[in-house]
Amino acid sequence: MMRLLKLQGPFCKTCGTAATRDMTAKSMWQGWWGVGSMIINPITMLRNLATSSKFKNLPEPAPGAPGRPMEPGKPLFQRPAVIGLLIPIAVIALIVVANLNKDPEATIGSCVYNKGTADKPNVKVVDCSSSDADYKVIGRLDNTVDGDKCAKFQDSTVSYTDRKAKFTLCLTPN
C-alpha cells in the first residue's frame, strides 16, 4: 500500500527544515515496500530536496511569534533512517554488478575461445572476427550433457559440455 503525505502551511526556516527532514527520513525507510513505491519514492525524495532548498531562503523565526519553532533534529545522513536508503541502493548495485560480470551466452552462430585445456575447458564467447575465436557454435543441445549427440551436426568436430547448466555445444573450427 502506498500513501503520499503533504504538509501545508506557512513555515519559517526552522520549521520547514524540520518538517522536510522528518518526512524524508520516513521515506528513506518506509518508502520502498511496494512495486509502485520503488518508482515513486526516489521522485518524492528528490522533490523533498527541492523543497528543502526553498526553506533555506526563508527567514529565521521571529522572536515573540506565536507558537514555538520545531526542532530540526539531526541532518538526514546522521539519522538511523539512512540505512533504509542504503539497502535499496546496495541491492541495485549488486544486481548491476552481477549482470556486468555475466558472460554472454553461447548461441548458434556465436564463436568461442577455450581459455582452459582440453581436459578442463574454460569456454568464453568471443567475437567471430577475433583471432581468439577457435570454434563456431553450430548446435546447442539444452538439458543434456552427452557430447555424442553432436553427431547429428555434420560439421561438428568438437563438443563442450557444461554440467552445471546442463547443455552441450556442438562446435566446428572457425
pLDDT of residue 104: 67
pLDDT of residue 149: 92
CA distances from 139 to 78, 150, 156 (A): 57, 7, 8
Cell 575465436, residue located: 133
Condensed to tens digits (0 to 9), the pLDDT of residues 127-141 reads: 999 898 989 999 999
CA distances from 131 to 43, 112, 135, 155 (A): 48, 11, 11, 21
Condensed to tens digits (0 to 9), the pLDDT of residues 88-122 reads: 889 889 988 887 766 668 889 999 988 888 788 88
Name the residue ranges covered by the structural domains of the chain: 13-100, 111-173
pLDDT of residue 103: 62
pLDDT of residue 6: 86
Asked if residue 164 lies in contact with residue 154, where contact means CB atoms within 8 angstroms, the answer is no
Residues of the chain where predicted confidence (pLDDT) is lower than 70: 101-104
